[in-house]
Chains A and B, each alone.
Chain A
């Protein structure tokens, strides 16, 4: 089954404790992206990647890191989480270079930073 998976689905942590949210897709997509969803703000892009070893900032990259060492994986790293990073996070993937292409979303990771 074609899908985007994220782990963990739920995470409670404390300020400053490094964490990683994993994202994996099995559709051989070049493009992958991370979004955060906050009430009333919709989804805002954090980082995206057009292919392996190619990443770039989205609209709200502060406090986040990413890496793309393999085509299928695109982990999101919070090196020193803060309470304002409490949010619902989505990973997405699609065929690269297609402006009208469909993005496929993972099920989301709900993060609470205390």
Chain B
């Protein structure tokens, strides 16, 4: 069975600092990987996804993530945090036909002025 682990349920950074949100997965087959963002009182919105091809994936709002098969990781980064990035971030994996996603526990990002 597949699983997703997000290290750090809460991450705090200063505005302008690097954002790094960690995601590790376990899967017996090549995974498709996703990052979703949830702003307060809203549903989840896709930030970016990796399916095949280039392992460095760029998403919306300046975020990017790199698929590292040897490390079974898909960490999310952004060079410079903005106050509007404060939200909860979810990593998810898809390992089978169809649309089923397995989510990590989420990381709440706080951005300090």
How far does the alpha carbon of A15 sit from the alpha carbon of B97 in the complex, in Å?
A: 37
Contact assessment for B43 and A101 in the assembled complex, using a CB-CB cutoff below 8 Å:
no
CB distance from A36 to the nearest CB of B (A): 11
Contact of A100 among B9, B32, B44 (CB under 8 A): B32
A94 at the interface (CB under 8 A from B): yes
A-B contact count (CB 8 A): 69
Interface size class of A (residues with CB under 8 A): 20 to 34
How far does the alpha carbon of A100 sit from the alpha carbon of B100 in the complex, in Å?
A: 10
Instruction: Write the residues of chain A forming the contact surface with B, with a CB cutoff of 8 angstroms.
Output: 4, 31, 33, 35, 40-45, 48, 50, 58, 90, 92, 94, 96-103, 105-108
B74 at the interface (CB under 8 A from A): no
Instruction: Write the residues of chain B forming the contact surface with A, with a CB cutoff of 8 angstroms.
Output: 4, 6, 9, 32, 36, 41-46, 49, 51, 90, 92, 94, 96-101, 103-106
How far does the alpha carbon of A103 sit from the alpha carbon of B86 in the complex, in Å?
A: 22
